[in-house]
Structure 1
Amino acid sequence: MTTIGTQLRKFRMLLGLSQTEMAAGIVTESFYSKVERDKSAITIDKLVAILNKHEISLYDFFNVFDQENLPQLILRRNMYEAFNNRDVKKLKELKKSVTKKSVRLKLELMIADIEGKVSQLSLTIKEELEEIAPKLDFENLEDFWDLAIFMPLFSFEKATKVISNITAQFTRLDFTDIQVTISLMNVLILYLNRCYEEDCPNEAAVALKLTERLPHNFTIFYHLILRYYQALFNKDDELAKQIVDLLKESGYQNYIATLPKGEK
């Protein structure tokens, strides 16, 4: 069966390129090697960037695939973009369009999380979600989206273990892939939210400290969200209000609605 990895290898060989040359400037050689061996999945954005860099026709590359593979890659990207933007309307639209049960369950969890209704999910749905929940083994993770999605379903103890494992594996993470950074930011923000709900400022301080080690290739938006949580834990209501006002001016109303308020 043809895969993204086998296609990349075929075109790389046709071009006479090494894995280092094929991946240069887009993903690390080690990550690219895993993609070719189908050990890791690559985001559609990074894949298209590699193909464009080496002037490989998208039609020629994808022509051998059946009708499901490319739509699945696009669906995955759209799901994560909508979740990152806390766009419930978009997630609900996507849910109507999918038939695969595991994907529908993930979308249902995303929607419930944004709407603050995770606790209202039925026992059956929670049990089904537990069956597809990501393991805490980071060896084969290409990004942290699944951990971000399932964070609200984890116990606080398990969520804290996620942060501990990320800290321990931090130097091995591939931050040349922007999706690694963005998905990790989502994990940390959702964990900070849990810390605030559980009134655990010490654990929050550990997560905030970890954000200082992240590369500065993410937007000022994330900096504002992190400062907002710092303001909450410091009980600085004035700063929290200023940040919310700035987010409103920048058009992040959807996201603001999901943030905890300052009255605890």
Structure 2
Amino acid sequence: MKIGKALKEIRLNLGLSQAKMCEGIIQRPFYALVESEKSGIGAESLIMILIKHEVDIDYFFNLVKDAYVTPEDRADQLLQNKMEYAVNSKNINAINFYEKEISTVATDEILKLRARVTAAYFANQLDELNNDLITKIYKKFDKEEWTRCTSLLRLLANTMPLWEYNRLTSLMKHLLHTIERRKVTSELMMERYIRILENYLVSCYDRKKYKDKNQKVFIDKVFEYLIKNTASFHFMIYRLHAYYMKALFEDDRITAKNIIKSLEKYGYGKAIVSWPKVEL
């Protein structure tokens, strides 16, 4: 929905009149034009209204974003969603199908890179990817700004198995240092960072790096950050995943088994299908 319609929906949910919704910010007649989509609204006024009524900005963004994307971007997003569903369910045939479709019709270069590496990973064909593609991925992370770029964070998450370990760890140290120094106020961005860090733990586990004392120091810092920043209910599944990974690293199979059994018992089996599996 567009901004005006979203504002109206929020206002009605809050039980406010138009005058109360915009009081002290803009005039009611002008606000009425905004709601009816006969006029736009300045960014500063919009933010002031949202803050005044304690409306989560990420929530508002998600309400309106689909109304303002291009048809090409919308088509890319749909393909991305289908690929993510195939990956989460580990449907190899669907992964290969959507990788081919993305490579043919998608306009987003980063989405194409992600899909290519994902398909190769699930087919155990990472070694067959050409050096030009790998170099192209590496170059995307030459700039400092990558830690704020959503598409590059997704690219890193999807291509971790491809990275040489020391190079990957250098990136992760930079990321952890950056987000510890920067106050992350967006819950959505925090979730993205948490997912990246947890993907890194899985990559370390797959490569058996926890047994290396030199690598263990940084891995423990990642665990510490995750446990500290996943206390809210919204992040509970990530917190449990961190504890599960820690149990795997420490070869504590009883704890790992209990975590899995508890989640399956309470209906979270589908949410953990992509977690590393071990003989419990």
TM-score, with length taken from structure 1 = 0.66
Indicate the percent of aligned positions where both proteins have the same amino acid.
16
Match of 1:199 among 187, 198, 209: 209
Paired with 1:206 and 1:233, the residues of 2 have a C-alpha distance of 14
Shift of 1:248: 3.6
Report if aligned partners of 1:148, 1:183 keep a CA contact under 8 Å in 2: no
Which runs of no fewer than 5 residues in structure 2 stay unpaired? 1-36, 211-215
Higher helix proportion: 2
Which runs of no fewer than 5 residues in structure 1 stay unpaired? 1-10, 29-44, 53-57
Counterpart code for 2:251: K
Paired with 2:194 and 2:143, the residues of 1 have a C-alpha distance of 19
Change (3 A) 1:205 1:145: same
Paired with 2:239 and 2:247, the residues of 1 have a C-alpha distance of 12
SS in 1 for 2:251: coil
Counterpart code for 1:259: P
Paired with 1:169 and 1:162, the residues of 2 have a C-alpha distance of 11
Alpha-carbon RMSD: 3.6
Report if aligned partners of 2:113, 2:155 keep a CA contact under 8 Å in 1: no
Shift of 1:229: 1.1
Report if aligned partners of 2:157, 2:199 keep a CA contact under 8 Å in 1: yes
Please list the CA deviations of residues 203-246 of structure 1 after superposition, one character each: whole Å capped at 9, or x if unmatched.
32121012134253634322221111111222211111112223
Counterpart in 1 of 2:114?
A: 106
Counterpart in 2 of 1:239?
A: 255
Paired with 1:262 and 1:241, the residues of 2 have a C-alpha distance of 9
Please list the CA deviations of residues 100-125 of structure 1 after superposition, one character each: whole Å capped at 9, or x if unmatched.
48434421312344x37254x4142x
Report if aligned partners of 2:247, 2:253 keep a CA contact under 8 Å in 1: yes
Alignment partner of 1:14 is 2:18:
no
Change (3 A) 1:243 1:161: same
Change (3 A) 1:225 1:91: same
Paired with 2:117 and 2:271, the residues of 1 have a C-alpha distance of 17
How many residues are paired up? 222
Paired with 1:175 and 1:78, the residues of 2 have a C-alpha distance of 29
Paired with 2:78 and 2:49, the residues of 1 have a C-alpha distance of 22
Change (3 A) 1:239 1:192: same
Q: Which structure would you say has the larger RCO, counting Cα contacts within 8 Å and 6 or more residues apart?
A: 1
Q: Which has the larger radius of gyration?
A: 2
